[in-house]
Structure 1
């Protein structure tokens, strides 16, 4: 007799908290560090309760110094720990770029493979929260462009729970992008086993006419667009990338060869972006299957606007559907 899968309903923030708890309980070398993550539980309360249960020697409050947080994480990793560093907001990561790009990403190669840096950088990112300047950014392209870093982003609670644990278990540094607009979006979490590996893309909704591709918070938007399209007689397949670097192109290519039409969506600006790379790769690999150009829907090539204008900047279901219409009418 098959056993019923053990599941629970959690918000994404609570799922990450639960995943961190599992990692802390299962490995004494796991330590968390960041601004206010022990005393406050972080700005979004993602680490709430962990310092109480595991102590402030393993859940550490740091000074307001992003370069120091990353530098300390690198030193901890060199000393045998598995640090998980939190940057409060996406726009605050840039003071630590030097540590991330010149040290974290390169020391494994520089040491001829003798040194591993199992560091996870947790980074709330993206818009839709009406925040002020520097609190809403999509910096994924900087990290995806940097060899030596793994870059992932969960779109739902189940992936948030499992992917944070998989990231912590990785011997390579992982940039873990958390879609902060979806922190309190609830979903079913399967507690007995992960649905996929850390770097596998998944079909979030099956379809036959057009392939919609995205990651993080954008997956919810694509699913909304697919539901509306279905009412108009268009069957849209939605691919959740999950991993931004490396990208698992297998399921994507299979979908595109079936549908012949593609829309790639992201919150980040279009120029030199993750979406641009996916579009170029699919144009190479699926050229003879494509019935229309690979289309992109993105934020604009401007700084992220003030909160009152973010609805004009960020892609929504309507902008995705406009691209779907263009693809279907070629």
Structure 2
């Protein structure tokens, strides 16, 4: 018997660690779950077990390859291919995607505390009983940040052209569909279509190389996405995405950049000024051009999301519109409207590059 136990331990997956958690509705006795896996320092529990613990039910839909959760607000839907909880026609972003581990669909503590609390309409209690590896994600995040800083530093240019090259990241791909609209239209498709058309415009009109993080419908890792932006001649990095909202009324383009840095001031009592980054200058030119082409821009927002990276490479994440808005969804699927966006983005890029080159020449 002892040898059998040793043999079973030998064949357990080394990439995961067993753990245990307590889950329950606030004010009620929690349920202890032992069928828990730690992956990269994050606890994953089987969705059925988590639902039982908070008095909800659900089932796997083999046709849609998604898990349906019954709630008083309607059916919630999650999928390992999507980073959203769909509830009716609304999409709620998930911090971590559900994952199949050891034959069961599993969710993280974030899903339990946020989405299950939302679906149950009550506060949910979650306690990880094996916290020894809780700091692993933080260590990994710091490592990723260092990687981003390495890749995304702006390189000096002595080229006569206004731009040497542009890197474009069409978000999502493969099983990672991004947002799925009620009609079935997928965000990954929109991102790829716009990226291909924009790349063609830039190549034709500026005669420069364009680096895409993906050129087809497949998944890429964070590191692979950064490879395009790490090229020595890249002067601009654009990330293309689309959004969904709790409200079907929201529409328009959102632009995200890294937070602006404060300029050091050694003068006593002086107010520290904000340095306008190249990313902000690029975002301003893109926003202006979009509005000139009759495309609604909601605003430019600072964001600390890791996908924007670190460093001083001019970088803008463009949320092309809301797939949760029926009218805008129809527009975004229209090739003419896509071309309208492409033309606006090209004009904004060209305007920014021309001004940047003139400023560089003035300094020299």
TM-score by length of 2: 0.33
Larger Rg: 1 or 2?
Answer: 2
TM-score by length of 1: 0.35
